Amino acid sequence: MRPFGSDRVRVRDDGAIVLACRMPKEGWEARVAKTLTRSEHPGTAILWENAYYEVIDITTLANSIEYTLAPWSEQHTMRVSMAYDDASEARRAADRRDIERRVKGRRTATIFGFLTGHLPAAVQDQLAHETGTNAPLLTMFSAIPELAVAGLYMRMFLTFRTGEGPMPPLWFMLLAAYLALDGAIRGGSAFLSGRPLGSIFGIIGYAIYWMMTPKRTQRIAPLAAPRGEGTFRVEVSADVQLIDSFAMREPFFTLLPANEQARLAERFDYDYRRHASSIAIGILIIALIGVVSSLHSRAFISLIVAGYLAAEQLFRLTQLSARPVGSVIGFAIRPMAKKFL
């Protein structure tokens, strides 16, 4: 029987197979013997070179672990089955490497928590997802040095008040005040809400790194929202975008000439009656306010313009029930309607 990887195999005098391994194999469980209070449970069924074996015993040694296997007995029901071959051992090795990488990353992220806790919240969440790090704890760790700087300023200020030292500089006072506020807000928020929160320094530093890295598309953007907090967006086709754009501008299209409104009705679901009256009434109110204001200030040009608009809207309101009527303001609307005509 051929072992795989660094495993070693030997056959005992009683016919049992002993597989010596450097690392334990996840999922391999030994047989549970029968007692007065429980029935016997067979060990894990192992498929090895087209034959099934039962794990009957597991012995842990100083530098290795030994699995004792015996041919599978037909009287047992096979509940759990695992393969022992090149592919399965390669997967186990890859899983162990992944676990080692995550453990190493978690230790590094935690040790340097006073720095990693300043990173954007989305980046801290990614670190937590990849390494198992406690992201809110990183934020709280990073707040400690900020509060320490504020404490140092207070000590210097008290020394100055007692006449034992110079007055701290103004820039240091402002820096300490900002760091104290930032540390208190971020640390308190992480403690109360259980969510990480980056600082302005971490966001700026990460943004510089993100802009300089050649694999920018594979990194999280500096201002990206954390998982579960972003806005869900559905990609829509160009036709849907055109229809939505038309719907947003439709009320103003009632000011276009009647022939252009007719073309819009042929191409889109356009009916001038939906918005024409409300738009005309709105312009009429503004025009009347302009008339009163112009009379009060004796601005005759403004009075003429406002009076014309008021008269035009009154005329339009009398005709809109029967047909679309444009406005002199239509020339200002035509640029936004050009792609729809």
**DSSP labels for 217-274?**
GGS--TTPPPTTTS-------HHHHHHHHHHHHGGGGGGS-HHHHHHHHHHSS--GGG
Both 211 and 272 in one domain: the answer is no
Both 243 and 210 in one domain: the answer is no
Low-confidence ranges of the chain (pLDDT < 70): 226-234, 236
Among 84, 119, 146, residue at a domain's last position? 84
Query: According to the model, what pLDDT value does residue 228 have?
Result: 63
Number of domains in the chain: 3
Domain that holds residue 29: 8-84
Both 208 and 266 in one domain: the answer is no
Q: Compute the distance between CA of residue 329 and CA of residue 333 in angstroms, rounded to an integer.
A: 7
Query: According to the model, what pLDDT value does residue 227 have?
Result: 66
Residue 223 domain-assigned (yes or no): no
Residue 226 domain-assigned (yes or no): no
Residue carrying structure tokens 């869900």: 232
CA angle (195 as vertex; 179, 104 as ends), nearest 5: 90
pTM reported for the whole predicted model: 0.49
Among 84, 99, 134, residue at a domain's last position? 84
Q: Compute the distance between CA of residue 9 and CA of residue 66 in angstroms, rounded to an integer.
A: 9
Both 123 and 210 in one domain: the answer is yes
Burial class (CB in 10 A: 0-12, 13-18, 19+), 243: middle
Both 67 and 153 in one domain: the answer is no
Both 121 and 179 in one domain: the answer is yes
Residue 69: CB atoms within 10 A of its CB come to 24
Residue 1 domain-assigned (yes or no): no
Among 167, 189, 218, residue at a domain's last position? 218
Element containing residue 295 per DSSP (H, E)? helix 276-297
Residue 233 domain-assigned (yes or no): no
Both 126 and 208 in one domain: the answer is yes
Both 249 and 333 in one domain: the answer is yes
Query: According to the model, what pLDDT value does residue 314 have?
Result: 92
Both 212 and 249 in one domain: the answer is no
Residue 138 domain-assigned (yes or no): yes
Helix (H, G, I), strand (E, B) or coil at 45: strand
Both 76 and 143 in one domain: the answer is no
Q: Which residues contact 293 (CB under 8 A, 6 or more apart)?
A: 299, 302, 306
Q: Compute the distance between CA of residue 141 and CA of residue 148 in angstroms, rounded to an integer.
A: 11
Residue 97 domain-assigned (yes or no): no
Contact 316, 280 (CB under 8 A): yes
Both 60 and 129 in one domain: the answer is no
The string of pLDDT tens digits covering residues 237-271 is 777 787 878 888 888 888 888 888 888 888 888 88
| DSSP code for 5 | T
Q: Compute the distance between CA of residue 116 and CA of residue 113 in angstroms, rounded to an integer.
A: 5
Element containing residue 47 per DSSP (H, E)? strand 45-48
Distance of CA 137 to the CA centre of its chain: 19
The string of pLDDT tens digits covering residues 137-154 is 889 989 999 999 999 999
Query: According to the model, what pLDDT value does residue 231 have?
Result: 57
Residue 3 domain-assigned (yes or no): no
Enter the tokens of residue 27. Answer: 């999922």
Contact 78, 45 (CB under 8 A): yes
Both 78 and 135 in one domain: the answer is no
Q: Which residues contact 198 (CB under 8 A, 6 or more apart)?
A: 117, 118, 119, 120, 121, 123, 124, 139, 186, 206
Residue 153 domain-assigned (yes or no): yes
